A and B are shown apart, each in its own frame.
Chain A
Amino acid sequence: MYIIIGGGGDIGYYLTKTLLNQGHEVLLLEKDAARYQALSEELGEAVVRGDACEARVMEDAGAKRADVVIAVTGEDDDNLVICQMAKRRFNVNRTIARLNNPKHEKIFQKLGIDITVSPTKAILSLIEAEIPTTRFVPLMKLRRAGLDFVELRIPAESPTIGKTLREINLPRNSNLALIVRNNQPIIPNAETVIQEDDEIFALVSPEGEDAIRKAFGALG
């Protein structure tokens, strides 16, 4: 893929390096002369000095044949304009913008930016996953299998405490993969007895999520 990245801060720099390593064709645009110098010593021709908001710079960068344009400057207004200009003037199929202010998500979506990434929001959701009151956390979607990988913690009031897995009614198409108890992994079998504060990792179909949540008495 040909990927153009606007903004050579830390995110732009590491993104460029990673994507180059993955074998993509990458061009990083940085408008600040001193920062450009520092970047070009390591990235060589993969970095060009210029403002990704400028149509001429994007034209020279070959924006017309770019598969993706990613805007990761520290200013949301710059990121918005980079993506809108790429879409409108160069018909770039996919635009991705970094959001510095998570509240800008709505306006970016309304204005046609394909994907927005908010580090603030990402960190918030990680914190929420660590807070004990949130006891049901979707970890990963296995899209092709049509299953979700979820984590839940057994609360003190769970009706399953002291029961073996054999005695618990689990929804169809679900499977307990792992129990973590006092930081020790346990591969569960029918005779495993559930205890308070057990962390359970399970594969479950989207329809079964409510049932598994209810079966273990998990909140949230």
Chain B
Amino acid sequence: MKIVILGCGRVGATLANMMDRAGHQVSVIDYSSEAFQRLDPDFKGETILGNGVDEDILIRAGIKEADAFAAVTNGDNRNIMASQIAKEIFHVKKVVCRIYDPIRERTYHELGLETFCPTTIGAQMLAEVLLSEPTAAKAARQDEKQ
């Protein structure tokens, strides 16, 4: 699969490395060249320096032939605009957009964008952990029962 990833932060770089190792053709865009240091030394994909809401940069990253696009910069609005360009102008089949702000995430989800919100997901996981019994206490109670 040909995948374009916008944003080479921790998430973007990890995703790019994973996809590259799985044998996919990966292009990563970031406006800082230092960000590309997060990629594996043997990363085989392409790195493109530039602004991800600029159509020319997306074209250089191969968006026209891409099967999938993921927007994971640290700017919600940048991700939203780039994802809409990928979807509406370049008709990429699979587009995923990270949005930190839960309200904005819900709005764009309603508008038909495939979105995910690390804020909501992270908070839910933390809540589950906090509300579950500590493992040690659980083990102790199990012992009592026996």
The reply to whether B78 and A77 contact each other, CB–CB distance below 8 Å, is yes
A111 to chain B: which residues have CB within 8 Å?
Answer: 84, 88
Among residues of A, the one whose C-beta sits closest to the C-beta of B101 is A54
Q: Which of B53, B76, B88, B103 contacts A55 (CB 8 A)?
A: B103
A53 to chain B: which residues have CB within 8 Å?
Answer: 76-77, 101, 104
A36 to chain B, nearest CB (A): 20
Task: Mark A39-62 against chain B: 1 for CB-CB distance below 8 A, else 0.
Answer: 000000000000001111000000
The reply to whether A78 and B84 contact each other, CB–CB distance below 8 Å, is no
CA–CA, A77 and B107, complex, Å: 16
Query: Using a CB-CB cutoff of 8 Å, which residues 90-128 of chain A contact chain B?
Result: 101, 103-104, 106-107, 110-111
A85 to chain B: which residues have CB within 8 Å?
Answer: 104, 107
The reply to whether A55 and B104 contact each other, CB–CB distance below 8 Å, is yes
CA–CA, A53 and B80, complex, Å: 12
The reply to whether A77 and B89 contact each other, CB–CB distance below 8 Å, is no
Given A77-B77, A80-B80, A81-B81, A107–B89 Cβ distance below 8 Å?
A: yes
Q: Is B23 an interface residue (CB 8 A)?
A: no
The number of residues on chain A lying at the interface, defined by a beta carbon within 8 Å of a beta carbon of chain B, is 21
A203 to chain B, nearest CB (A): 41
The reply to whether A88 and B111 contact each other, CB–CB distance below 8 Å, is yes
Q: Is B55 an interface residue (CB 8 A)?
A: yes
The reply to whether B110 and A88 contact each other, CB–CB distance below 8 Å, is yes
Among residues of B, the one whose C-beta sits closest to the C-beta of A88 is B107
Q: Is A25 an interface residue (CB 8 A)?
A: no
Q: Is A214 an interface residue (CB 8 A)?
A: no
B103 to chain A, nearest CB (A): 4
Q: Which of B78, B84, B101 contacts A107 (CB 8 A)?
A: B84
Q: Which 5 A-B pairs rank lowest in CB-CB distance, beginning with the nearest?
A: A77-B81, A77-B77, A55-B103, A81-B77, A77-B78
Query: Can you list 26 A-B contacts with CB-CB less than 8 angstroms, sorted by A residue number?
Result: A54-B101, A54-B103, A55-B103, A55-B104, A55-B107, A56-B103, A77-B75, A77-B78, A77-B80, A77-B81, A80-B77, A80-B80, A81-B77, A81-B80, A84-B80, A84-B107, A84-B111, A85-B104, A85-B107, A89-B103, A101-B53, A101-B54, A107-B84, A110-B88, A111-B84, A111-B88
Measured CB to CB, the residues of B under 8 A from A are: 53-55, 75-78, 80-82, 84-85, 88-89, 101, 103-104, 107, 110-111
